Amino acid sequence: MHFKKFAIATVTALGLASTAPAETLTFVTSTPGGSWYPAGGAIKTAVEDLFDDIQINIRPGGGLANIKSISLKKADLGLSSTISAVDAHLGNAPFDEPVTNICNVAYLYPQVLQVPVRTDSGIESFEDFAGKRFSVAPPGTTAEQILRMVLESAGLTYDDLDQINFSSVSDQSNMMKDGQIDSVFLTTGVPASLIMDVGSARDLRLLPISDEAFAFLKEKNAGFQRTTIPGGIYKGMDEPVQSASFGTHVIADCDLDEEVVYKITKAIYERLSDLGLAVAALRNTTPEMVRQDVGIPQHRGSAKFFSEL
């Protein structure tokens, strides 16, 4: 049984009442302030604008938590990272067994590892995080999982840090502007609103992902890709920075109705330019990118839509 309700809209015409049921779906994204939250809202708007028989409720979540919510039938749709979805499908750590009921709907955009550090922090590499103050999204998110991997590549754990804060993007921004932390770890689209916000108040630089750290990540999960953050994106950061990335995509319960997912996919595909206006990370997404294989089964509804193009 899906986590759905039925809302009944009553229309009265010529003294007769008729009903038009609207299927209400739960869509898990990220904590407010994270890039997934507005992305989910933009998709909701696109779907509901095209189809009055579908209503979507946006709920907070996180990369790993969203997969779990769908697997437990607590949500119908979610945003996920491609690396986490593949790990879930295969039953790789941190999943204890394969998650068999998550299907891909549509690829959205690349998420880039971005590590802004205060220029006065003395941090030049990940090894320098020993004794420093750090913040990242709460456990259950992809960012937190990858941070532990990156620290491991430098021979560090959370115990080596002076402090580690698990907090929302808005709290991270405030703590960094107030000088309470030295750095944050982000996995999000470029440009990242937090970096732009903090950069208006403090001098920052982006820490590169070294070849050694990237090789370590790639060995952990083949879905990581080498990425360059162009210079000039952020204030005072004129040189390109080497990093790593993976994809953000929409996932759904494989049992979710085929026609419903067909319509959701159609809305994403046909309103891609509108989504790009609402979410900066989607501005460079092409129709070809939306339909790409991400390494897990494609939902039959989206597969049907793409087959008709």
- 239-261 pLDDT, tens digit per residue, is 999 999 999 999 999 999 999 99
The whole-model pTM stands at: 0.77
Is pLDDT of 166 > 90?
Answer: yes
3-state secondary structure (DSSP) of residue 90? helix
Domain boundaries 5-109+247-307, corresponding CATH code: 3.40.190.10
β-bridge partners, 32: 34
The full set of domain ranges for the chain reads 5-109+247-307, 112-246
Report the C-alpha gap between 193 and 35 in whole angstroms: 8
Domain boundaries 112-246, corresponding CATH code: 3.40.190.10
5-109+247-307 and 112-246 share one fold: yes
Is pLDDT of 18 > 60?
Answer: no
How many CB atoms are located within 10 Å of the residue 93 CB?
Answer: 8
Nearest to 88 by CA among 76, 75, 71: 71
Least reliable range by pLDDT among 13-17, 111-115, 156-160, 198-202: 13-17
pLDDT of residue 244: 95
Report the C-alpha gap between 155 and 126 in whole angstroms: 9
CB 62 within 8 Å of CB 142: yes
Alpha helices in 51-136 (DSSP H): 63-71, 82-90
Report the C-alpha gap between 223 and 210 in whole angstroms: 17
Residues of the chain with pLDDT > 70, as a percent, come to 93
Average pLDDT over residues 285-306: 95
Is pLDDT of 3 > 70?
Answer: no
Average pLDDT over residues 38-46: 96
Pairing mode of beta strands 116-118, 133-136: unpaired
